[in-house]
Structure 1
Amino acid sequence: MSLDDRSKRILDELVSNPSITSMALEKKYDLTRRQLGYSFNKINEWLMTKSLPVIERTRKGHFIIEQCVFTKLNGEERSPALETTVLSENQRVYLIIMMLLSSEEELSLHHFTIELDVSKNTILSDMKRVQTELNDYELTIRYTRKAGYLLEGKEFQIRKLLIHVTYQLLQVHSGQNKIKELANIETDQLHEFNKRIENVESKLNLKFTDEKLATMPYILILILRRIEQGNEINSFSIEYEELSDTKEYQATEEIFHDARQIPVEERLFITLHLLTTNVYWSEYLTDDDAIPRLVPAIDNMLRLFEKSACIYLQDREQLMNKLLQHIKPAYYRIKYQLTETMDMQDSLNKEFKELHHLVKRSTGPLKDLIGNDIPESETTYITMLIGGWMTKQGDSIEKKIKAIVVCPQGVSVSRLMFTELRELFPGFVFLDSLSVREFLDYGLDYDIVFSPTSLETDKKLFISNAFLGHEEKYRLRKQVMLELHGYIPRDINVDHLLDIIRNNAVIKNEKTLTEDLQKYIDRDEEASVKQPMKTRDINLNDLIPANHITIRNSVESWEEAIHVSAKPLVEGGKIEPEYVDAMIRRTGEDPYIVIGPNIAIPHAAPEEGVNEVGMSLLRLEEGVNFTKDYSINLVIVIAAVDKHQHIHALMQLMKLAGSETDRNHVISADSVEEIQKMIALYSVD
């Protein structure tokens, strides 16, 4: 074992001045009787490890030291004290927190000044920074003359802080020594817990990452110390059923085998720590029993990413396994708010910043499964994994055209424009739909801008209407392709295409491939922007006839408004009752449901109960509150069977919503006929 800094100072004082009394020592080093007793016991334990006689203390506070102690200590080179390198402010903050977390005795201000070798004023200043750090964990520092400095707050939050601070200290130079000194952790203890963790790895058939393997012994020792001191987790939100059947829960037996009876909550916390610890290999990674639906959620996330990034990820099964290694422990970290609060953004290179943006936009399936937002540090790590995989397969979004959509006409119009353009240019990476104000402060790299209004930009700007007809789509596509590539889509030579394909793939039937390519190139000029065998567009008044319009003075709630508005569609068999429930369920999730002042369009997915395309309208004289921000007078239920049939009528509805005069005319209408006339004005091609 080794002596802490204070105990070394006291031993040096006793050897050089053996006539000093206990009271004089307490006064000289600003110690309480208990603190001096603690150090005195440590000194005697250390002497016994050196096969030296212990120092005795008389009732009057004098010390009896045998000659061999003087001879031995004066004759050998003294151990160096705690490193005297100058510590940064952040390092001192973490060291102070470590002392507060791990001390087995009361802590005075003088205690901190001795251990960190700085002035009292510096420590008092550092304490303010410590409290700032603690605010993130809803913890506070309390000081009393009797108990010294203590941490106050929920033990679960203290454990989160302990894990974070231990990790941070182990990253600095000689961090292991600093923790051992300040927390009084013996090397033998660390060796013992390393053995236990190795046994856990064996039982779980996995290997922890080197970084986690280095951190875990310290964390487990300090957690057990807090338990022994009576600092136990009382109320805990961990689901017993979710963790008690895991292999990690059984592995806690190895960690606790020589401890006193450990409460279930503590076993669950250690289980959670094992589950949240990153691994680089596991035999059971694809075992779905522990986290049902995790694999499908990751698969859906990858599909959304591929669509956004316009790429195809090769060797998908290997990539899935690699992602599982990170996301399986991340699942528990995110669910129980144990994600390490470290900023990894700076570790992303320029290209990965755009990639990270696309990954964040694709994590919806994980968020739905876990029930919490995915923290930045977790999405950043997923980005690095996917980005590394793309680099390995020779792919990059840097090689692709990156576009943004800037629309001043509101979030719903902007979103609709974004969707339309992404379908029109499937080879482009569309990063965002933005307002003009957001565009001015946009930080990601892009190549082209689509907007219905002129903008000041050094990038290529294409002016496009918010609502595009078929001819407008064709002209825009032709203009963009000609300016970016020097050709329009139909000016493609089949022979040149075949040469490219031969160089990169094996062609099984060249004749059939040539015919299929030629058919695709020679299709109708508008085929790239519309479905083949296209039927007549459905207008707004086709979908909202008189019997689909309801006029009411008021309703009690937003939910009732959806029921009343949808009633004609249910009675007409166009939707099932469960579609109404789905709309209500989705209302809180979809910020795009409000498309303008006083007007909203509740809807759900076609597979949730739509039999036939249709719309229905409810006009309320007295608006109904949709959240605290919106009061709605017009509720138009949309039942779509696909992405196409209703879109023409929806564009007409958006134009009506964009006209304040005509929108207010509908809201103040006294009859169904009056509303019909206004709808008819917008139901023209």
Structure 2
Amino acid sequence: MMRILDTRFYLFLKQLAEQKEFQSISSLARMLGFSRRTIYHYLEKCNYLLKQEEIESLESVAGKLSLSAKQVTVIESWLKQVGETKYLLKVEERRQLILALLLIENRKWQLGSLQSELDVSRNTILKDIQFLKAQLQKQGLEVKSTKARGYFISTMEIKRRELLYDFVYRIEMERNDPLYETLLELLLGKSKGSERAFSRKARKAVEMAEEILSKKLSEKDLRILTKAMQLYQIRVNSNQPFYWEEIDRPLIHERLEFTAAKALLDGVQELSRPEEYLAEQEYYGALLLCLDKNEDAHFQSVPFGELLQISERIIRLFEKMIGLYIKRKEELTEHIQTYIKVLFYRHQFQMELPAYSLDTVSEQFQKVFGLTKKVMQLMEQDALYKRYFGTAFKNEELAHLAVFFEEAVVKEQTDVSIPKVLIVSDYSDVLNSLLKTQVKQLMPEVMIVGAFSSENARYFPEKVNFCIATDPSYFHFTGQTIHVPVILTETAKKKILRSYKNGEAKPKKREQLKQILKRQTGIEEISERLLNQIKSLYGEISEETVVKHSETAKLETFIADSEFAMVWGKAETLTDVICALKKPLLERKFAQESYFERLLMEMEAHRTALIYPRVMLILTDYRFGSFRAGASLLYLKEPITLAENEEVALFVLIATEEKMTHVPLLFELDHLLQNGFLDALKSDYTMFESFLLSEKGVAKLKNIEYTEGNIKNENVDKK
């Protein structure tokens, strides 16, 4: 049966068979809407296929093209054989396909066979091969060609399997099953029908291995693994031997995965030949160790107590860096420990498996990815970490780790940042379901916490932002109640959107004051915190003293203001340092007193981060009373010595914010510290002068040569 992958070529053949005669190549091109170049390409392809049928080629005489009866009959037979629309390969897909074919190498692939099977021109195949050569060269691999073997990729067997696994991973991530089907058709030909039977058997074997391990793969990872196993099996059937170059065999043999691998191979006997059974068992044992897990019942197992400690240190350091203390820490620890175990095995066996797309994560979760990168740079100095990981994590590995932190941060902020909506209705389930769906369509970003009857809704324990009720007499005890008919009219929809846009109705100041006073037990003894809370209700903020709030707070804004950026000779205590740092942030209402009280408490408990030698970062959870991103800095010419015998010369206090707008300040600070900011301060420059020097890169030099006049000019320009 003839395969036609290019649907445009199918249309070309159909036009030839129907019309049989054309005045010119240009007229044929106009009929089909193709370029003349495309027509000539398709004529070349058609002649190649006619030659295989031992039929004379198509030729144009004086520009005129005519088909003989024999040519038309053959072309019509080709068209009849096409029972369905064939998959049209894109350029990138065709190149992926060629790479997979050369990796599996179950037959000799030459220029002619690739051209014939993929229905493209000789030049196209040559361009594809050149592209693959350039791509593989970056990984130290080479595409070679010999007369006896055709095109092939020269690489170690383990790397070959990694590349095939990566091919399947891409297909699954892009949901490109047609490309995988096309590959199997090229590899298996008429015996492709056995593919589904193999998939069922492989899946059952993997599920048995999961049961032995008490571990669970995601559905997507399970599909990737079974498809990869099928490609490995085709290579095994082609009498291509598998062997390990170098591997830590004792480590594999003592793990439960080695037993699970035996069950897997016994369940799918086509995966190995008797003489290579042990090598295959070791490979699948290592692969099971290196795959991402959804669940791992052994994440706290005895051999990995120290890896668990590494995971906990990573989380603590992340908390210190971001100032957000994660409540659901057990769940996060389990996820990270499960992943750290996987990374340990990947590093141990030097097995590279695809992970989350680095570009996607670094783009979508810029702040968390940057923080994760900084945390792991600090972890590289940790003695326990260095014992298990001789090399630093790659960006792709960091991207996967950042996803866990992003999820944890979002969960911590959910109660505040995502508006919660309660549906209250006494109608039937079907009408309530319709109302719920309509509300979700109107406001997709909200969280609908449930639909309850008016009787049950009164006992709903959580605070909500909005209650949408069908009973006009019902008013919920938290949030704003919006009354609507059960089937929303246009007017009702506008009412919901208007209320949502205006935000949750807030009690007046007098009601807020009542709530504050009710919470006080000994009202005769007025606390400072009570006074601050009352002051925040009625205190006026002068326009002159407010730093303009921006989603992109800049460190320069604070360093240029001498109230936020201070240089002292020395300080007696850490309390004095905090008092100086908090003053401008408190006065200009970046945070309230409770935030700084919490900071002092955490400093006494040594919950601070030395993000750089002699530099202490001080920040905490915004939920303790910080409203917007801000920073104050204090440099001491005589450093303070901490209990750990570490000197601190520069203190940086950060006011945190719910949407993490303070995180860019951390990145800017990191950039300054790497460019000689401290060196400039030691040379008696002011804070702002040191900032200008480090921005220009001058402060990195051992001998700073920068005239005071230049500094002053820079100051004037900045203002």
The equivalences for 1:430-469 within 5 A come to 446-449=552-555, 454=560, 462-465=564-567, 469=571
Partner of 1:483: 588
* C-alpha distance in structure 2 between counterparts of 1:649 and 1:121, whole Å: 64
Q: Of the candidates 182, 186, 189, which is equivalent to residue 182 of structure 1?
A: 186
Give a deviation string over 1:14-65, Cα, whole Å, max 9, x none: xxxxxxxxxx99994599xxxxxxxxxxxxxxxxxxxxxxxxxxxxxxxxxx
Corresponding position: 1:142 with 2:138: no
Find the residue that maps to 1:372 and give its secondary structure: coil
* C-alpha distance in structure 1 between counterparts of 2:600 and 2:265, whole Å: 68
* C-alpha distance in structure 1 between counterparts of 2:647 and 2:53, whole Å: 81
Give a deviation string over 1:447-486, Cα, whole Å, max 9, x none: 241699759xxxx994444987567875453223323438
Corresponding position: 1:262 with 2:276: yes
Q: Of the candidates 96, 99, 104, which is equivalent to residue 98 of structure 2?
A: 96
* C-alpha distance in structure 2 between counterparts of 1:124 and 1:354, whole Å: 43
Find the residue that maps to 2:588 and give its secondary structure: helix
* Residues 115 and 125, structure 2, Cα contact 8 Å, conserved in 1: yes
Partner of 2:220: 211
Distance 1:84 1:464, change over 3 A: farther
- Ranges in structure 1 where 5+ consecutive residues have no aligned partner: 7-23, 32-73, 400-443, 498-516, 533-589, 596-637, 666-685
Counterpart residue type for residue 404 of structure 2: L
Partner of 1:40: none
* C-alpha distance in structure 2 between counterparts of 1:453 and 1:189, whole Å: 66
* C-alpha distance in structure 1 between counterparts of 2:564 and 2:640, whole Å: 33
* Residues 451 and 465, structure 1, Cα contact 8 Å, conserved in 2: no
* C-alpha distance in structure 1 between counterparts of 2:254 and 2:315, whole Å: 29
Distance 1:642 1:110, change over 3 A: same
Partner of 1:358: 371
Superposed displacement of residue 296, structure 1: 1.1
The equivalences for 1:257-296 within 5 A come to 257=266, 258=269, 259-262=273-276, 264-289=278-303, 291-296=304-309
* Residues 4 and 182, structure 1, Cα contact 8 Å, conserved in 2: no
* C-alpha distance in structure 2 between counterparts of 1:177 and 1:201, whole Å: 27
Q: Of the candidates 121, 139, 156, which is equivalent to residue 123 of structure 2?
A: 121
* Residues 242 and 279, structure 2, Cα contact 8 Å, conserved in 1: yes
* C-alpha distance in structure 2 between counterparts of 1:656 and 1:345, whole Å: 37
* C-alpha distance in structure 1 between counterparts of 2:681 and 2:559, whole Å: 20
Partner of 1:391: 410
Corresponding position: 1:642 with 2:646: no
Superposed displacement of residue 356, structure 1: 1.8
* Residues 332 and 408, structure 2, Cα contact 8 Å, conserved in 1: yes
Corresponding position: 1:302 with 2:315: yes
* Residues 454 and 463, structure 1, Cα contact 8 Å, conserved in 2: yes
Superposed displacement of residue 271, structure 1: 1.5
* C-alpha distance in structure 2 between counterparts of 1:451 and 1:591, whole Å: 21
Aligned residues: 416
Give a deviation string over 1:402-439, Cα, whole Å, max 9, x none: xxxxxxxxxxxxxxxxxxxxxxxxxxxxxxxxxxxxxx
Corresponding position: 1:374 with 2:393: yes
* Residues 3 and 82, structure 2, Cα contact 8 Å, conserved in 1: no
Superposed displacement of residue 204, structure 1: 1.9
- Ranges in structure 2 where 5+ consecutive residues have no aligned partner: 5-46, 55-76, 419-549, 615-638, 652-675, 685-697, 704-719
Distance 1:481 1:236, change over 3 A: farther
Higher alpha-carbon deviation: 269-278 or 363-372: 363-372
* C-alpha distance in structure 1 between counterparts of 2:603 and 2:345, whole Å: 45
Find the residue that maps to 1:146 and give its secondary structure: coil
Partner of 1:326: 339
Find the residue that maps to 2:212 and give its secondary structure: helix
Superposed displacement of residue 142, structure 1: 0.9
Give a deviation string over 1:322-372, Cα, whole Å, max 9, x none: 33343333332344241316634324675x321222222223269533322
* Residues 367 and 374, structure 1, Cα contact 8 Å, conserved in 2: no
Superposed displacement of residue 263, structure 1: 5.6
Distance 1:484 1:87, change over 3 A: farther
Give a deviation string over 1:127-167, Cα, whole Å, max 9, x none: 12212332243211111222111111222222211111122
Give a deviation string over 1:276-335, Cα, whole Å, max 9, x none: 22232343333243x452211111111111111111111322222233343333332344
Give a deviation string over 1:140-197, Cα, whole Å, max 9, x none: 1111222111111222222211111122134325233123223325322222222222
* C-alpha distance in structure 1 between counterparts of 2:408 and 2:152, whole Å: 47
* C-alpha distance in structure 1 between counterparts of 2:292 and 2:83, whole Å: 36
* Residues 252 and 270, structure 1, Cα contact 8 Å, conserved in 2: yes
Partner of 1:586: none
Distance 1:195 1:234, change over 3 A: closer
TM-score, normalization by structure 2: 0.49
TM-score, normalization by structure 1: 0.51
* C-alpha distance in structure 2 between counterparts of 1:252 and 1:528, whole Å: 52
* Residues 355 and 400, structure 2, Cα contact 8 Å, conserved in 1: no
